[in-house]
Amino acid sequence: MYALPMQGRFIFITGGVLSSLGKGVIAASISSIIESMGLSVSIIKLDPYLNVDPGTMSPYQHGEVYVTDDGAETDLDLGHYERYTHALISKKSNTTAGQILDHVLQSERKGDYLGSTVQVIPHVTDEIKRRIFLAQNNKADVTVIEVGGTVGDIESLPFLEAIRQMRYEHPQHCCNIHLTYVPYLKSSGETKTKPAQHSLVALRQVGIIPDIVICRSEHPICADSLKKISLFGNVPIHAVLDQPDVEHALFEVPIRLQEHKIDLLISNVLKLSPPNQSNVTVWKNLLEKSIHLKEEVLIGVVGKYLEHKDAYKSVFEALQHAGLSQNLKVKLIEVNAELLEQNMTIPEADAYIIMGGFGQRGFEGKILLAKHAREHKIPCFGICLGLQVMTVEFARHVLDIKDANSTEMEPKTKNPVVLSLEELKNVTQLGGTMRLGSYPCNLKEGTKAFDIYKNELIHERHRHRYEVNQSYVESLEKGGLLVSGKHPATNLTEIVEIQDHPWYLGVQFHPEFKSKSFAPHPLFVSFIQAAKEAQKEALQTRVMPV
């Protein structure tokens, strides 16, 4: 059994009825409210699927893979945690059933269980609890634990059992919050509570009675429906919170939760005496600003997973953060890279962003877009694969190396301008083998990159297998594609830019992971400013008399 840190408190957030209710944003918002009360917070996401991590999953399955500083490939909800709080997010902040079973089986092989029969209870549930305590790290005043999936899923059972045990073992230290769904039936014009009732019954069947129920819905829920949920759920009516879809921005979530006095509800359950009252001013200010935006910029997003809203989550967030900082609405226009290959006209935009990705599909479409933006001097931002696209395009059309390519797309190319990272050449295993996490990067003075960061040394997060071939760097630079950022020890190309262009810059890393609404990333801010400039110029040329 694990020693419980005396001041440690645990808030478990489970979900009912269906996924995609915004449990991650709720967990992040609650964490932000608790932080504002002067308490330290740690957050962990428990994912009941069997993959060791989401790194090997398709973006269509699971949305974006979020990368931490210490190189973990994790669930995208960790992005919300980092964007809403100051909590330290690391490998310890996401664990899956795959990792837990792997650990238990390896321990069994080592003989750690001293001849006992290895079972879900206690061995798997103990390992789940150990990981929760690891995330708490003997430090955090409050640890928020989000459980992926919904109650009733077979694979969630060991996680719910571990939570039940923790409450049984430390009743004063645990608070259970259940997020459920209350659909609105258009035909009868009313909200229906039956699915929520069922999810509360499912939770009760595994021995958990929540302290707080948050009801997600498209419309406000009437008092009678909330009363029903309270009665069926064994939860006092003041702890059944109505959380309809937000009108303007996700910043509204912490504001609404505070209006519902979730801070007091949690403090009562956990017997907390926080130093401060909760404060959501930061969110109120951002919301106020976002409601009153008048001007907008149009950003063409060039990718191939565009139909999956979550596949580029952090980039979309970072663009919005930067827009807000410049008092601009950012309107996105989807540019499907595969359709570009089939001669689709490139939609007009003030600026383009070429997204990261893997594999040949859509690569040539991205090349066409990069050429268009370069030749027409339209601001263009390449992220990870985007940098590689910009480099191959430049080699083909400026240096006239017609068959220049990346070995990811054409393994036998005679001109591998982008090729596999040396250290990964003989790696065959797929999961967790990329260049992952935070690496330093030296910036060259006098470049746009330096001008933006105003620093010689920066640190950014990575997730890639390929790099710019260093033997082409001299020719690329002579031709006008400057390497303005390099990894200090290996000289690996981290940033490329064209100086004779209003804004044409590619990065091998993922700056989007470090952008927060209250601290937008400088690269995105500069990019949005360039988009606005380009818009103004285009307008001027249009109205100028011929």
Asked about 348 being catalytic, the answer comes back as no
286 contacts 249 by C-beta, under 8 angstroms: yes
- Reported as type and span, the H/E element at residue 540 is helix 522-543
Among residues 117 and 426, whose Cβ is nearest to ligand GLN? 426
* Least distance (Å) between residue 541 CB and ligand GLN: 34
Q: Does position 512 bind ligand GLN by CB under 6 A?
A: no
Of 191-199, 303-311, 321-329, 351-359, which part binds ligand GLN (CB under 6 A)?
A: 351-359
Q: Give the residue carrying structure tokens 């600003």.
A: 289
Q: What does each C-alpha distance from 77 to 71, 262, 414, 457 come to in angstroms?
A: 16, 21, 42, 29
Among residues 370 and 384, whose Cβ is nearest to ligand GLN? 384
Spell out the residues 6+ positions from residue 66 whose beta carbon is closer than 8 angstroms to its own. Answer: 73, 74, 75, 76, 77, 78, 79, 313, 314, 513
Of 88-96, 143-151, 190-198, 350-358, which part binds ligand GLN (CB under 6 A)?
A: 350-358
Query: Please, what is the Cα angle at 231 between 230 and 233, to 5 degrees?
Result: 65
Q: Does position 384 bind ligand GLN by CB under 6 A?
A: yes
Q: Does position 329 bind ligand GLN by CB under 6 A?
A: no
3-state secondary structure labels for all residues of 382-426: EECHHHHHHHHHHHHHCCCCCCEEECCCCCCCCEEEEEECHHHCC
Pull the structure tokens for residue 470.
């260093």
Between CA 222 and CA 235 the distance in angstroms is 17
Q: Which position among 312, 439, 466, 509 is part of the footprint of ligand GLN (CB under 6 A)?
A: 466
Among residues 328 and 337, whose Cβ is nearest to ligand GLN? 337
Phi and psi angles of residue 288, each rounded to the nearest 5 degrees, phi first: -55, -45
How many Cβ atoms from other residues are within 10 Å of residue 493's Cβ? 27
Q: Does position 371 bind ligand GLN by CB under 6 A?
A: no
Catalytic residue among 384, 462, 464, 501: 384
Collapsing DSSP to helix, strand or coil, 483 comes out as strand
Catalytic residue among 146, 161, 497, 512: 512
**Terminus-to-terminus CA distance in the chain, angstroms?**
81
Q: Does position 357 bind ligand GLN by CB under 6 A?
A: yes
* Least distance (Å) between residue 386 CB and ligand GLN: 7
Asked about 384 being catalytic, the answer comes back as yes
Between CA 21 and CA 494 the distance in angstroms is 37
Q: Does position 385 bind ligand GLN by CB under 6 A?
A: yes
Q: Which position among 8, 356, 416, 485 is part of the footprint of ligand GLN (CB under 6 A)?
A: 356
- 523-529-535-541 Cα dihedral, nearest 10 degrees: -110
* Least distance (Å) between residue 310 CB and ligand GLN: 16
Among residues 99 and 406, whose Cβ is nearest to ligand GLN? 406
Among residues 329 and 465, whose Cβ is nearest to ligand GLN? 465
Which residue's Cβ has the minimum distance to ligand GLN?
356
Pull the structure tokens for residue 38.
């002067």
* Least distance (Å) between residue 388 CB and ligand GLN: 6
Q: Which position among 64, 77, 252, 408 is part of the footprint of ligand GLN (CB under 6 A)?
A: 408
Q: What does each C-alpha distance from 116 to 119, 226, 459 come to in angstroms?
A: 9, 48, 47
Of 94-102, 214-222, 321-329, 459-467, which part binds ligand GLN (CB under 6 A)?
A: 459-467
Between CA 48 and CA 463 the distance in angstroms is 24
Pull the structure tokens for residue 318.
């970072």
How many Cβ atoms from other residues are within 10 Å of residue 92's Cβ? 18
Q: Which position among 464, 486, 487, 521 is part of the footprint of ligand GLN (CB under 6 A)?
A: 464
* Least distance (Å) between residue 387 CB and ligand GLN: 8
Among residues 453 and 466, whose Cβ is nearest to ligand GLN? 466
Collapsing DSSP to helix, strand or coil, 449 comes out as helix
Q: Which position among 157, 358, 479, 516 is part of the footprint of ligand GLN (CB under 6 A)?
A: 358
* Least distance (Å) between residue 412 CB and ligand GLN: 18
Query: Please, what is the Cα angle at 149 between 148 and 150, to 5 degrees?
Result: 125
Of 232-240, 307-315, 451-459, 460-468, which part binds ligand GLN (CB under 6 A)?
A: 460-468
* Least distance (Å) between residue 508 CB and ligand GLN: 8
* Least distance (Å) between residue 467 CB and ligand GLN: 7
Of 103-111, 346-354, 463-471, 488-496, which part binds ligand GLN (CB under 6 A)?
A: 463-471
Instruction: DSSP letter for 212, please.
Output: E
Among residues 84 and 472, whose Cβ is nearest to ligand GLN? 472
Collapsing DSSP to helix, strand or coil, 81 comes out as helix
Q: Which position among 396, 448, 463, 521 is part of the footprint of ligand GLN (CB under 6 A)?
A: 463
Spell out the residues 6+ positions from residue 11 whose beta carbon is closer than 8 angstroms to its own. Answer: 30, 142, 143, 144, 145, 174, 175, 176, 177, 266, 270
Among residues 379 and 386, whose Cβ is nearest to ligand GLN? 386
* Least distance (Å) between residue 464 CB and ligand GLN: 3
Q: Does position 302 bind ligand GLN by CB under 6 A?
A: no
Q: Is the dihedral of CA 82, 85, 90, 96 positive or negative?
A: negative
Among residues 122 and 431, whose Cβ is nearest to ligand GLN? 431
* Least distance (Å) between residue 53 CB and ligand GLN: 15
Asked about 512 being catalytic, the answer comes back as yes
Which residue ranges make up the site for ligand GLN (CB under 6 A)? 356-358, 384-385, 408, 463-466
Which residues have a catalytic role annotated? 384, 510, 512
